[in-house]
Structure 1
């Protein structure tokens, strides 16, 4: 590995929050900042203290936090036209924030100077130089972001570079080239950065936006041309189409190009960091997100799986464990014996590929997928199916019957009540519960019947419920697929049910979610405190 260190500058808490639908509280930002520091980010941009009270509150909170590695940066702009730097409220807010690093942006595209700022090119150079000097005089490390640099360079290269030199001569510690509109191509970025590096003594950084879906590629091109700092966000969140995704940039730099970004141990936390930020930001991570997505190392085609089991390099560009992800084998209608055997090995279930039972299991899975089941998105149901097929699943309870009643009156919304009768180890449990819908009521009644016998169910909860119509042409008689995601103590699993009746499909998925947890926990039915053959109760929720 090369000695050249790439400095990581995370702007998730500032540029990232400009993405549509992204909103972080002060405490959210503090939690993410602490996690970014633990991961090994060099700079964490916390916000724009001159723009809103929330960002100033964040900087106040961070004064109480002891970071192990990262430095907190405050973001702002150069002073305004015809305003002295020491009289500019925005620059003073940066100092008042209490940070040791200030990042300011200035115009490097002459079009923006004359059209947006409505000032002269010389006055813009004065604004850049005076702003940097003022912040340096107040003891701050100064990072200058040259906004719209690549567009500016293509339009007027001499002036764009003069802006960089104005910042350098004033004492800037870093000069960052920004592809603000996100429209540059990698070869353009490489050529321009290569031309700029020899003209400056100050180290360069790259700040790329993703409007052409090239932010990661442009960032890598800039580094290869001589830039030494990367600016971006976790999961690529940001305004419009987002920023360069540090979750992709970092492993590409460190594992593919040999640069040093973070320790190997911290790199192994990359997947957890990505999912942590997504959870705090209330985002749904795409399954196919490179490196850290749930499907990033998932193999479905039988030929692929057969080869991967022999040598993972055949269909994987890297070891998933290096960045904290894992390999997954999917079983579906495209599966072959290799998929099934790999899944069986994962479950510690013995399958002999020469025996008829494995061929029958594959046939059954493909038939059920033809009926509408989707096991690649419901691996818990698949596990139960395979365990049943090998006789390794104890049937701890069975359904005798259930009924659902719904009532609507002018004074209140619809109320659902479910009555469930189960056979638990030969004992009949008869319970009833209310809910805000029929599935909710069924869930409550099922749990009520089982929790006395299986206390671990009290820690389980449903986290997601999806319904998909499989044959729209049948209108209200269409078959539906229900996917349910459940969780307990941070572990999540998914189950599936299919029927022309949405209640029956939901029940099937609900029961599988319970059966899977009981199997995972190795549960045996416990005798409840009250003995008897029949127990009846109502639960109000």
Structure 2
């Protein structure tokens, strides 16, 4: 069962509008093909009601209504009335799974709590609603009051229920405890369907899920990207990969691995919660080899591959370009781009990428053609004019200014100018210098900066400038981690090829 739309929405700062909830519900059931989805908590708000109504209307039309579940409460039937109006047919009734919660939060005896639960289950039956029961704080119940937990389970065995849902509400279980507690329960109640609902406070969610499977759990509660209260819930993608690789002979699931990444990215966009780049299966970097020795090993019988092949998840392996890159990384990227360099040029490009890597951690594959151009373009023209040095200033209350030293045919010239920005000041200084030399410069007609998506302030910038001279237009590019410097590099190319 996916609970991204209920427990996942309890991630701090996350609230899915009705249209997004419906879209996510469709993705989970039709794209990922999960078995069930928990979509909301009853009686939260009018907006939540409208979202649930939209989902149940769609589910009724498409035969999914029995796969839509709602969190409900022991409230004398008010949740049932809310559900009935919203069109939902399966409730996940929240009850107290530890004596501590029962005594201090509800201030009731087990007998009082059980009687109220029985009443709600009967009201649901009369309304044509199926019931699953959550034992909130079950893990602490097994720690501190196991006799109460088994008394409660004995009582639940007398009711007409679909499933009993056992949550590690505060994420406190170790893998050994998960196996021990689940084994005791499944041994005593072999014919009952038990779900495990793991939280990830100690980063043990996936490990605990594995142990619950070994101990006989019949269902799992997961969220896309591990969203949820505090540190979140057991993450869908990791658990699916674990089941398929380590439990394929024991557990049969229908979730589509190839859709995990695309759904993950959509929910990242809707939620505004960024996926860590190193998050297993769905993180940006998890199928990226950075060290040159790894790329070399992959060229030699895939020495650094494991069973988590990116194609399983609709992804591709990447080879990072940076200061730890070797020629093998670059060759891998060139192959994907359909480019080929001889060994001399490959060495030049490698040296340039390592130089850039000292300024920033990563160069993207998409940057590679421009790096190649930046490195190899020098062979296309004689570099008569070079920008030897410059000082760029930008101070509050003062106009930006530039002092520039330019070497033309071996002679050094210096000029100073102000402008509306640092690059404008640089260009004004150049124009003054050229005017004194009775030289003409092309006009700048377009200026664009490209920064790879998702990059930081240290991103590699490519500045693309279009120039016009005597009605002829041409383009130069400059590459650097500093945007103004990349524009100056593009300008120096213009001075030599105009």
**TM-score past 0.5 threshold:** yes
Deviates more, 1:254-263 or 1:291-300: 254-263
2: distance between equivalents of 1:25 and 1:330? 37
CA distance in 1, matches of 2:110, 2:218: 28
| 1:131 aligned residue | 120
| 1:73 has 2:69 as partner | yes
Q: Determine if the alignment matches structure 1 residue 306 to structure 2 residue 296.
A: yes
Larger Rg: 2
Secondary structure of residue in 1 paired with 2:481: strand
Distance of aligned partners of 1:148 and 1:98 in 2 relative to their CA distance in 1, 3 Å threshold? same
Query: Which SS does the other structure have where 2:12 is aligned?
Result: coil
| 1:207 paired residue among 197, 216, 223 | 197
Residue 255 of structure 1: how far off its partner (Å): 3.0
2:346 corresponding residue in structure 1: 358
Question: In 2, Cα distance between the equivalents of 1:485 and 1:212?
Answer: 42
Per the alignment, do residues 68 and 137 of structure 1 end up closer, same or farther by CA in structure 2, a change over 3 Å counting? closer
Tell me the SS of whatever aligns to 1:176: strand
Aligned twin of 1:297:
287
CA contact (8 A) 2:275 2:282 kept: no
Hey, what does 1:446 align to over in structure 2? 447
Q: 1:262 and 1:133 mapped to 2: Cα distance?
A: 33
Alpha-carbon contact 1:375-1:381 (below 8 Å) kept: no
1:329 matched to which residue of 2? 319
Instruction: Give the TM-score of the pair, scaled to structure 2.
Output: 0.77
Report the equivalent of 1:34. 26
Distance 1:507 1:157, change over 3 A: farther
Tell me if structure 2 keeps the 8 A contact 1:465–1:484. Answer: no
Q: CA distance change for structure 1 residues 466 and 314 in 2, over 3 Å: closer, same or farther? A: closer
Gaps of 5+ in 2: 399-419, 428-440, 464-477, 492-497
Of 51, 55, 69, 2:44 maps to 51
Q: Which residue of 2 aligns with 1:367?
A: 355
Larger displacement relative to structure 2 (102-111 or 16-25): 16-25
Listed as ranges, the matches of 1:191-230 within 5 Å are 191-200=180-189, 201-230=191-220
On the 8 A contact 2:310/2:317 being kept in 1, the answer is: yes
Q: Which residue of 2 is the match for residue 6 of structure 1?
A: none
In 2: Cα distance, 1:303 partner to 1:262 partner: 37
- Residue by residue over 1:373-420, the C-alpha shift from the partner in whole angstroms, topping out at 9 and shown as x without a partner, is 4434x432234213555679999xxxx99x9999999xxxxx989869
Distance in structure 2 (CA, Å) of the matches to 1:161 and 1:315: 46
Q: Look up the match of 2:414.
A: none
Determine the C-alpha separation between the residues in 2 that align with 1:274 and 1:388: 36
* 1:215 to 1:505, Cα distance in 2 relative to 1, 3 A: farther
Which segment is superposed worse, 276-285 or 90-99? 90-99
Q: What secondary structure sits across from 1:177 in the alignment? A: strand
Question: What pairs up with 1:100-249 in 2 under 5 angstroms?
Answer: 100-200=89-189, 201-249=191-239
Q: Check 1:101–1:360 CA distance in 2 against 1; reply closer, same or farther (3 A cut).
A: same
SS state at 1:64 partner: helix
Displacement, 1:364? 2.5
How much has 1:124 moved relative to structure 2?
Answer: 1.7
Residue in structure 1 matching 2:338, options 337, 341, 348: 348
1:295-348 Cα shifts (integer Å, max 9, x gaps):
111101122211123333634342111111211111221122221221221221
**Compared CA separation, residues 34 and 417, structure 1 to 2 (3 A):** farther
Q: What is the CA-CA distance between 1:91 and the residue it aligns to? A: 3.2
Higher mean Cα deviation, 295-304 or 361-370? Answer: 361-370
Q: Distance in 2 between matches of 1:219 and 1:506?
A: 50
- The corresponding residue for 1:318 is 308
Secondary structure in 1 matching 2:233: coil
Q: 1:382 aligns with which of 362, 368, 378?
A: 368
User: CA offset at residue 97 of structure 1?
Assistant: 2.0
Asked if 2 retains the 8 angstrom alpha-carbon contact of 1:78 and 1:91, the reply is: no
When residues 408 and 356 of structure 1 are mapped into structure 2, their CA distance, relative to the original with a 3 A threshold, is closer
Query: Structure 1 362/226 Cα, relative in aligned 2: closer, same or farther at 3 Å?
Result: same
* C-alpha spacing 1:363/1:484, structure 2 compared with 1 (3 Å): closer
Partner SS, residue 41 of structure 1: coil
Q: 2:12 maps to what in 1?
A: 20
Contact kept? 1:153, 1:161, Cα under 8 Å: no
Quick check: 1:129–1:170 contact (8 Å CA) kept in 2? yes
The question of whether the paired residues in 2 share the 8 Å contact of 1:47 and 1:74 is answered with yes
Q: SS where residue 269 of structure 1 aligns?
A: helix
Compared with structure 1, are the counterparts of its residues 114 and 374 closer, same or farther at alpha carbon in structure 2 (3 Å cutoff)?
closer
2:497 pairs with 1:504:
no
Q: Is the 8 A contact 1:466 1:484 kept in 2?
A: no
Count of residues in Structure 1 that have an aligned counterpart in Structure 2: 432
The aligned runs of 1:415-426 (5 Å cut-off) are: none
Distance in 1 separating the partners of 2:452 and 2:292: 32
Gaps of 5+ in 1: 1-8, 80-84, 410-414, 422-426, 432-444, 448-456, 468-480, 487-494, 512-532, 534-541
User: CA deviation digits over 1:495-533, x for unaligned, max 9?
Assistant: 97324xxx515758999xxxxxxxxxxxxxxxxxxxxx9
Residue 63 of structure 1 is matched in structure 2 by: 56
| Aligned residues of 1:37 and 1:68 also touching (Cα < 8 A) | no
- Is the CA contact 1:291–1:325 (under 8 Å) kept in the aligned structure 2? no
RMSD over aligned Cα, in angstroms?
A: 3.7
CA distance in 2, matches of 1:385, 1:208: 47
Q: For the Cα contact (< 8 Å) 1:34–1:67, is it kept in 2?
A: no
Contact 2:360 2:460 in 1 (8 A): no
Which digits, 9 at most, give the CA deviation of each residue in 1:51-108, with x for residues without a partner? 21121011121233244657211111223xxxxx4xx323322232211211111001
